[in-house]
């Protein structure tokens, strides 16, 4: 007989509370073994959403074309393409489409019966790769029994066919068809994507990052890797004034101040009043918002330009304090306000003088350029309070902390928004944090811990202050793994007419990933599976129209920022990527621009996508080949130990009937 340690017996006793009899242990082992042999669930990867909520929501609803393929698989040639698209649109937008159908359909009862049959058949195909238990858990509680019966009824047998038809008839006769169609449509959506990965940058540029966050908060299975645009909002919510004014500047630049004021209840009126009082001269064209030509009000356009400039100046002053207090960040080269020659209208950068396009800085004292004026300080104090007291913002940022990481290794793949900073010789960059130099995976892990301290540590503590300063550094610092450039050249882009000077150089990591041999070395250094693993990142839009490929090093690394953000679509030539990892391998979907949900509903149009197989597995992957499979195998081993303990008499069965 096996000798059991005291701690092992204690654990097995605890486990026996959940599985009190030999029969229940055996049943669970059989169940888990069966699950291991089911096909691997479908993972979806998206990056750089940048507030483009309509496109994002549609991609979730149609699962990047997976749902339409399920419809094709279910009905083949028995339905026309038009009929299939009608059904697909209903699944994507059931509430909205039913309202239209009820106005246009004469025989509504017949429509309901046909549609319910079709939806059930599509749902059967979608559910076929999951255990019955998992599907049941995904079904809305109020329809759990009915949908479960319909999905597992076999209408080929006469004695079941009547039963099956009677359920459909009763649903319609009780006027529950709409609710049932909505429920089963959303179930199909959920079954199409088993797990969702967001590879960073939910915030900035587009109009609805908050809408995306709200949708993600309801999602059944998700993880998020933080991007630098997420990080600056996280820093702002944590209390970093430097991050706050970067956020405000970006909102002004893209005419998205409504996100701050209306969505998050952050009152920026003190800043607006300050700007109107202090910045009276007209602001030059470079600082006009990105959509200036669409802004009908000249006053609004000019105000946004002045807001952008005023926040930039305050930002430079706030950043200077961090740079001076944190020499380990090595950011001294980003201080410019003290290098402006006001008489010659030029600035010194790296030993060279450049002419300034704009010399109007009413709040900068040349003798003490980084000191906030009394009025600026007053504005900063009010803005800080507004950010810290925004309940909705804090709720959203807490969600990013709860579901997010700097990076994640999932099913053998490394997910990271940007890169692991490298040197020209191919070594990972050693970066000084907490008075020690660290690099590679250790650097990434240290960053994440300090960032979490920046939000959760005690207020006014050194840990919280350092964490907030690091969040700002991750937004724009040279060795930030989610910024990945030599510098964020806001000053140069705003005030100097020199395109070469304004360029932001990528980290050399992006040169090494073009070579498969070097990419394999990166895998070795990060302890990744060289043969089966991948690095999946975003951050840099892939210029498809210029011949760039998102697939690097023979498929070992994939950059999946295809320009979901409208700001990048002229550059990329497409409107976003989705990477799909199912039991057959990896597929990359490139999306065309999405017009609107309204048009998709009324005209039954879909998001057109072209798909490219990145990697096809020799043998179909099952759950036993995944991280979940490893956990299930561990559970099976523990249950086998419990079974042995029961049989050897070390643990006694706990029959419920003996306990009342």
Q: Find, among 619, 605, 545, 615, the residue nearest to 575 by Cα.
A: 545
Structure tokens belonging to residue 459: 């207020």
pLDDT band with cut points at 50, 70 and 90 for residue 425 = very high
- On whether both 173 and 261 belong to a single domain, the answer is no
Give phi and psi for 326, each to the nearest 5: -125, 75
HSE (CB half, 13 Å, CA atoms) of 11?
A: 10
CA angle at 110 for the pair 104 and 116, rounded to the nearest 5°: 100
pLDDT band with cut points at 50, 70 and 90 for residue 660 = very low
- On whether both 71 and 120 belong to a single domain, the answer is yes
- On whether both 34 and 74 belong to a single domain, the answer is no
Distance separating alpha carbons of residues 91 and 85, to the nearest angstrom: 10
Per-residue pLDDT tens over the stretch 12-48 = 999 999 999 999 999 999 999 999 999 999 999 999 9
**398 vs 204, 235, 456, 559, CA distance in Å?**
18, 12, 10, 27
Number of domains in the chain: 3
Helix (H) or strand (E) holding 536: strand 535-537
In total, the chain counts a number of residues equal to: 660
Residue range 377-391: mean pLDDT, rounded: 98
- On whether both 403 and 279 belong to a single domain, the answer is yes
Looking at the DSSP bridge assignments, the partners of residue 536 are 415, 558
Residue 653 has pLDDT above 80, yes or no: yes
With contact defined as beta carbons under 8 Å apart, do 50 and 565 qualify?
A: yes
3-state class (DSSP) for residue 612: strand
Cα dihedral across residues 16, 19, 24, 26: positive or negative: negative
**294 vs 106, 301, 454, CA distance in Å?**
43, 9, 39
In this prediction, residue 656 carries a pLDDT of 62
In this prediction, residue 86 carries a pLDDT of 95
**Final residue before a domain boundary, out of 170, 192, 214:** 192
Q: Is residue 367 part of a domain?
A: yes
Q: Is residue 480 part of a domain?
A: yes
**Final residue before a domain boundary, out of 458, 474, 494:** 494
Q: Is residue 570 part of a domain?
A: no
- On whether both 242 and 379 belong to a single domain, the answer is yes
Distance separating alpha carbons of residues 628 and 79, to the nearest angstrom: 37
The DSSP call for residue 63 is G
Q: Is residue 616 part of a domain?
A: no
pLDDT band with cut points at 50, 70 and 90 for residue 161 = low
Looking at the DSSP bridge assignments, the partners of residue 197 are 45, 223
- On whether both 392 and 331 belong to a single domain, the answer is yes
Looking at the DSSP bridge assignments, the partners of residue 455 are none
- On whether both 286 and 415 belong to a single domain, the answer is yes
Residue range 473-485: mean pLDDT, rounded: 98
Chain-centre distance for alpha carbon 222: 8
Domain containing 252 equals 228-494
Please report, for the chain, how many H helices and E strands are present, in that order.
28, 17
- On whether both 407 and 261 belong to a single domain, the answer is yes
Percent of all residues in the chain with a pLDDT value above 70, rounded to a whole number: 97
In this prediction, residue 160 carries a pLDDT of 60
* Candidate from 147-156, 337-346, 499-508 with smallest mean pLDDT: 147-156
- On whether both 286 and 161 belong to a single domain, the answer is no
Give phi and psi for 344, each to the nearest 5: -95, 0
Structure tokens belonging to residue 469: 């300063």
Residue range 103-111: mean pLDDT, rounded: 91
Pairing of strands 585-591, 222-225: unpaired
3-state class (DSSP) for residue 22: helix
Mean per-residue pLDDT of the chain: 93
Dihedral of CA atoms 356, 357, 361, 362 in degrees, nearest 10, equals 130
Residue 611 has pLDDT above 60, yes or no: yes
- On whether both 27 and 103 belong to a single domain, the answer is no
Distance separating alpha carbons of residues 241 and 587, to the nearest angstrom: 42
Q: Is residue 531 part of a domain?
A: no
- On whether both 32 and 83 belong to a single domain, the answer is no
Q: Is residue 553 part of a domain?
A: no
- Provide the greatest CA pair distance for the chain: 95
In this prediction, residue 156 carries a pLDDT of 53
**Final residue before a domain boundary, out of 137, 169, 192:** 192
Q: What is the pTM of this model?
A: 0.94
Q: Find, among 423, 432, 511, the residue nearest to 470 by Cα.
A: 432
Top pLDDT among 607 and 230 is at 230
- On whether both 31 and 106 belong to a single domain, the answer is no
Looking up tokens 């009862």 gives: 109
């Amino acid at each position: 007989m096996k000798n059991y340690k005291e701690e092992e017996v204690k654990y097995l006793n605890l486990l026996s509370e959940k599985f009190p009899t030999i029969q229940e242990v055996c049943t669970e082992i059989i169940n888990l073994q069966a699950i291991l042999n089911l096909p691997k669930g479908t993972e979806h990867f998206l990056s750089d959403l940048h507030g483009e909520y309509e496109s994002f929501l549609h991609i979730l609803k149609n699962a990047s074309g997976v749902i339409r393929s399920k419809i094709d698989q279910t009905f083949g040639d028995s339905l026309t393409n038009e009929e299939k698209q009608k059904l697909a649109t209903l699944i994507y937008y059931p509430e909205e489409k039913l309202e239209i159908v009820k106005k246009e359909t004469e025989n509504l009862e017949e429509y309901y019966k046909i549609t319910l049959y079709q939806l059930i058949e599509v749902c059967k195909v979608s559910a076929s790769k999951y255990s019955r238990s998992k599907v049941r858990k995904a079904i809305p509680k109020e329809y759990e029994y009915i949908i479960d019966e319909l999905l597992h009824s076999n209408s080929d047998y006469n004695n079941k066919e009547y039963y099956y038809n009677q359920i459909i008839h009763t649903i319609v006769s009780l006027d529950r068809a709409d609710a049932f169609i909505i429920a089963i449509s959303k179930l199909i959506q959920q079954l199409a994507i088993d797990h969702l990965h967001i590879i960073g940058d939910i915030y900035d540029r587009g109009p609805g990052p908050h809408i995306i966050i709200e949708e993600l908060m309801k999602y059944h299975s998700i993880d998020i890797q933080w991007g630098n645009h997420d990080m600056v909002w996280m820093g702002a919510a944590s209390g970093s004034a430097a991050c706050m004014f970067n956020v405000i500047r970006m909102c002004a630049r893209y005419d998205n101040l409504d996100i701050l004021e209306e969505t998050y209840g952050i009152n920026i009126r003190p800043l607006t009043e300050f700007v109107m009082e202090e910045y009276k001269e007209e602001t030059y064209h470079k600082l006009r918002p990105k959509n200036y030509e669409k802004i009908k009000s000249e006053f609004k356009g000019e105000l946004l330009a002045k807001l952008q400039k005023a926040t930039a100046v305050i930002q430079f002053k706030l950043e200077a304090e961090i740079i001076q207090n944190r020499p380990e960040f090595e950011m001294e080269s980003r201080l410019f306000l003290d290098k402006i020659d006001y008489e010659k209208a030029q600035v010194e950068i790296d030993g060279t003088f450049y002419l300034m396009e704009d010399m109007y800085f009413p709040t900068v004292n040349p003798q003490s350029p980084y000191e906030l004026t009394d009025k600026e300080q007053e504005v900063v104090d009010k803005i800080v309070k507004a950010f810290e007291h925004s309940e909705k913002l804090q709720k959203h940022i807490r969600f990013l902390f709860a579901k997010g990481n700097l990076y994640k290794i999932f099913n053998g793949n490394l997910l990271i928004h940007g890169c692991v900073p490298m040197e020209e010789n191919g070594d990972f960059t050693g970066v000084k944090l907490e008075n020690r130099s660290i690099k590679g995976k250790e650097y990434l892990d240290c960053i994440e811990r300090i960032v979490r301290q920046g939000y959760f540590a005690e207020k006014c503590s050194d840990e919280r202050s350092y964490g907030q300063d690091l969040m700002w550094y991750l937004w724009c610092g040279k060795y930030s793994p989610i910024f990945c450039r030599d510098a964020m050249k806001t000053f140069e882009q705003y005030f100097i007419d020199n395109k070469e000077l304004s360029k932001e150089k990528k980290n050399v990591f992006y040169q090494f990933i073009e070579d498969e041999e070097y990419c394999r070395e990166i895998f070795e250094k990060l302890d990744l599976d060289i043969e089966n693993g991948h690095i999946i990142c975003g951050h840099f839009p892939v210029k498809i129209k210029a011949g760039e490929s998102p697939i690097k090093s023979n498929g070992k690394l994939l950059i999946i920022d295809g320009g979901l953000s409208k700001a990048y679509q002229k550059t990329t030539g497409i409107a976003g990527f989705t990477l799909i990892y199912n039991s057959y391998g990896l597929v990359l979907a490139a999306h065309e621009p999405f017009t609107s949900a309204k048009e998709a509903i009324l005209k039954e149009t879909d998001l057109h996508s072209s798909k490219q197989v990145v990697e096809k597995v020799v043998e179909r992957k099952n759950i036993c080949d995944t991280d979940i499979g490893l956990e299930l195998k561990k559970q099976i081993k523990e249950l086998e130990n419990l079974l042995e303990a029961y049989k050897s008499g070390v643990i006694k069965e706990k029959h419920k009937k003996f306990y009342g």
